[in-house]
Amino acid sequence: MVPLPVLPPVNSAHRRTLAPIATPDRLLLGPGPSNAHPTVLQALARMPIGHLDPLYVELMSEVQELLRYAWQTDNRLTIPMSGTGSAAMEASLANTIEPGDTVLVAVKGYFGLRLADMAGRYRANVVTIEKPWGEAFSLAELENAVATHRPKILAIVHAETSTGICQPMEGIGDLCRQHDCLLLLDTVTSLGAVPLYLDEWKVDLAYSCSQKGLSCPPGLGPFTMGPRAEAKMMARAGKVPNWYLDVTLLNQYWGSDRVYHHTAPVNMNFGMREALRLLAEEGLEAAWARHRSNSELLWAGLEALGLELHAPAALRLPTLTTVRIPAGVDGKAFSQHLLTKHGIEVGGGLGALAGKVWRIGLMGYNSQPENVDLLLNLFETELPAFRPAVAPAAVAA
């Protein structure tokens, strides 16, 4: 018998005694994540089953069907990527870009910049056009850029989370068809909460996330690919340069064959299935109307308090409101006060808007009038303490 090796004694310095995890209750009214629906949390807590179990295979099909409904598309390749929304974003580029392809990115905020960065990593010839962070592109601007640069892909953010701007989509799909380029749309902050008609708009690629309008925790990235994008992917000269996100492989798992690709996060898909079921139960139009109504309540209340909204009314996102921080106010200190004293999270600005705006999210389960009333009350009663003191002479004047 071979003797067992003599192991060194366990070093107790490497051991820590910790209490079971405990997290405070938070009301997440920032740019995401939002609070998950209680029914979704219950689904997440169920006992896992195998990722090729017949019951799970049936659930996979239900998730795909419900995602098609939420996006209003018939795309065959509609799946939840095992990863956050950024993974789905990367999948949309990794599968369709070949080295040297011209990719036109319409940048009007932080996440347009991320699209350009990702596309460059797949050796695309990246061309950007830009708008100030608080505006949207006109169809004429996009048409001029597409005609000039002749891209293989036009990438644009529908709901720009950094600015609170919703990009009008009329005519963009037709423009891309006329110039034989794919239309890629970021719907991270719009899916389930803002009107989306992928097939009607002629969108070829789209992606989103689980933790915003769908009322599910972060961890899955919905992804959809239309026939034109699928044809470009299948005509590639070489392999997709990202094994984990390769849709030609994932299609074997999510398609009719159900061939093993990776160990799927089954409980996350339990939650996604319930989140999408709840959305279908409410109805898309009702969910869109609820988000719109609550955002209008928020906008009116903030303006009644003398606060200025960053996005023009015609372009405002019902899911994400950007509020300009008043002069002299430490916006970060007020956000921290809301979190530590009241357990409410609101976001700060990114990029060009860092330190200039608060970002308030009303997404999915959190888009409720009582949440609007609560936040407006705190802005009214507690923001004055964070404004700069006014000298007595100025008050007299």
pLDDT in tens, 85-100: 999 999 999 999 999 9
How far is the C-alpha of 307 from the C-alpha of 327, rounded, in Å? Answer: 11
* Joined tokens for residue 365: 């389960």
Residues 6+ apart with CB under 8 A from 128: 104, 105, 106, 107, 112, 116
Query: Which pLDDT belongs to residue 34?
Result: 97
pLDDT at 299 over 90: yes
Query: Which pLDDT belongs to residue 74?
Result: 98
- Residues 204-243 have pLDDT tens digits of 999 999 999 999 999 999 999 999 999 999 999 999 999 9
Query: Which pLDDT belongs to residue 84?
Result: 97
Q: Is the dihedral of CA 250, 256, 259, 264 positive or negative?
A: positive
Mean pLDDT of 334-349: 97
How far is the C-alpha of 224 from the C-alpha of 206, rounded, in Å? Answer: 5
pLDDT at 393 over 90: no
Which pTM does this prediction carry? 0.94
- What structural domains and CATH numbers belong to the chain? 27-31+284-385 (3.90.1150.10), 38-281 (3.40.640.10)
Q: Please report the DSSP string for 180-232 in residue order.
A: T-EEEEE-TTTTTTS---HHHHT-SEEE--SSSTT---S-EEEEEE-HHHHHH
Query: Which pLDDT belongs to residue 6?
Result: 83
Q: Tell whether residue 277 is among the known ligand binding residues.
A: no
Query: Which pLDDT belongs to residue 396?
Result: 42
Read off the pLDDT band of 395 (50, 70, 90).
very low
Mean pLDDT of 304-329: 97
The alpha carbons of the chain give a radius of gyration, in whole angstroms, of 23
How far is the C-alpha of 5 from the C-alpha of 1, rounded, in Å? Answer: 12
Chain mean pLDDT for the chain = 95
